[in-house]
Structure 1
Amino acid sequence: MTSAHPSSSIGPRFRPYASSKHQVTKGRYITSNDPRGYIPVYEYPLNGQWIMMDIDDGYILWTGIWKALGNSKADIVKMIDSQPDLASVIRRVRGGYLKIQGTWMPYEVALRLSRRVAWPIRDDLVPLFG
């Protein structure tokens, strides 16, 4: 992340890195799973999946990264179940717009997991992690 700007009313602001390979756009998706009523995101497609970052708090849609690697939904459940410390920090979005459904986790946690399992798509994650 290139910058996180404190804001008194909203919290940190996250911005993706520039990449010559990816067109990062902004989106805003309505959901009842979030107290804001919507999730504002930076997003770009990768291998038929959407890579997303919550603009307000930097949470990353881990499901997008996981599926871009070719893994199944069942595999992400096993991975999270095998690491009980993740349960307290992840958010699960169910229902609403399909594009934002899945497991969201803090930037630092997603970065750490990506370093362990996402080597094949590391160049495609530059907009998120630099």
Structure 2
Amino acid sequence: MPSPSADTATANGARYRPFSSPNHHVTKGRYITSNDPRGYIPVYEYPLNGQWIMLDMDDGYVLWTGIWKGKPLHPDIVKMLESQPDLAPQLRRVRGGYLKIQGTWMPYEVALRLARRVAWPIRYELVPLFGYVAFQHIS
């Protein structure tokens, strides 16, 4: 499937799609929430270590909480995000409502940059989000 960052805009706005992976079963979901002006969040999703990895189909936001909690021996996400105040305006926090979508959402590019820094142990589990090449040129 096309890259989320390379996908072209459609008449309904940007559409993001996951990369194909023979090891992951990605499904579509649509979760009603009052935390989003659309009234719902349309996602591609798949499980990882008891957490849900989600990509917003329309705007490419990634549920970072699923990645962070899916990473073994994860440090505190709040401390990490507070150490980077420039991220605050880009984050969406979903509280209340459906448990599966609760947490911190961030733009695709920000999630990729952070994943390259902290999610190396689960890089192959993130292929549907970032593809196989996302972690290739990391020193």
TM-score (norm 2): 0.88
Residue 14 of structure 1: which of 13, 16, 25 is its match?
Answer: 16
Runs of 4+, deviation exceeding 4 Å:
none
Say which SS state the counterpart of residue 14 (structure 1) adopts: coil
Q: Aligned partner of 2:17: which letter?
A: R
* Deviation per residue, 1:78-108 (Å, 9 max, x gap): 1110000100101000011000000000000
Identity %: 75
Q: Give 1:66's aligned residue.
A: 68
Partners of 2:112 and 2:61 in 1: CA distance: 11
Number of aligned residue pairs: 127
Aligned to 2:124: 123
C-alpha deviation, 1:127, in angstroms = 0.4
The amino acid of 1:76's aligned partner reads: I
Aligned twin of 1:5: 8
| RMSD of aligned Cα (Å) | 1.1
Work out the CA distance in 1 between the residues paired with 2:89 and 2:37: 18
Partner-residue secondary structure (3-state), 1:63? helix
Structure 1 residue 7: Cα displacement: 2.2
* Counterparts of 1:67 and 1:11, CA distance in 2: 30
Where does structure 1 lack aligned partners over 5 or more consecutive residues? none
Residue 108 (structure 2) aligns with: 107
User: Which amino acid in structure 2 is aligned with residue 4 of structure 1?
Assistant: D
Instruction: Kindly state the Cα deviation for residue 4 of structure 1 after the two structures are TM-superposed.
Output: 1.5
Which residue of 2 is the match for residue 28 of structure 1?
Answer: 30
Mark the runs of 5 or more structure 2 residues left unpaired by the alignment: 132-139
Q: How far did 1:5 drift?
A: 2.4
